[in-house]
Amino acid sequence: MPQLSEIQDIENTRLILWDLMLEETVSNTINLPTHIHHPKRIIEYLSTQKMKEALEIFKPISHFENGKPFIHDGPHISISHGTKIAGFIRSDKPVGLDIQQISPQIGRIRNKFCHPDELNDAQQSEDELAYLTLLWSAKEAVFKIYGEGLVFAEQIRIGPLKNDRNIALAMIYKNSDTHMHEIKWQWIKGHVIVWSF
C-alpha cells in the first residue's frame, strides 16, 4: 500500500505521508482533470486524491489566487510533493507542510534564504547541507501558512535546529508585528518532512 505513515501530531491534526514511487498510485488515471498531462503532475494529482480520502476529506480542494490550497468550510490544509514522498496535513488551525530531499542546489542558494545567524548555525552543525535543507523546508512550511508576502532571509527566522529535539520556533517579522510558530520535523527515506502551526 502506498501510504507510508500517518503522524498524529496534536489533537485534531493529522498528517498522511504517501510513497510516490509505487505503481498503485498511478494505476488509475480515470477522471483526471483535462489540464493535467505531464506524468509527474498526474502522480501528484492522484496521490493528493488518495491522501485526501485517507484523511476523510470529501469536499473539493480549491486554490486562492496565490496557489494556496483550501477547502470551503473545511479544515485548514497544506500539501507537499517531494521527489519520492508526498504529504497532506489537515488541522483545525492554520498549518503549513513541506517535504524536501537533500540537494546540493539548497547549498548554492543559502545566501538567498538564510539570515547570517542561520548561516552560522548551519556551519556549526554536523551536516551543513542537511541543516540547510531542513532550514529551507522549515521556511517553506511557515511561508505556506501565510501564502505570500514574506522574504525568507529577512522576515522568517528559524532555529536553531537540533535533530535530537525535532522541534523549534519560527519568528515571522511582518508589518512591524512579530508572530511565532512552532515547527516540527522527521527524516524519512532521505527526505525531511516539516510541518508548522
- Long-range contacts, 126-129 (Cβ 8 Å, 24+): 129/102, 129/104
- Check residue 1 and give its pLDDT: 39
Q: Given pLDDT bands bounded at 50, 70 and 90, which one contains residue 39?
A: confident
DSSP E strands: which ranges in the chain? 3-7, 14-19, 62-63, 69-70, 76-81, 85-91, 96-101, 156-158, 167-174, 177-188, 191-196
The pLDDT mean for the chain works out to 90
Q: State the average pLDDT over residues 90-116.
A: 96
Mean pLDDT of 109-133: 96
Specify the residue for cell string 505521508.
Answer: 17
Burial class (CB in 10 A: 0-12, 13-18, 19+), 173: middle
Whether pLDDT at 23 is above 90? no
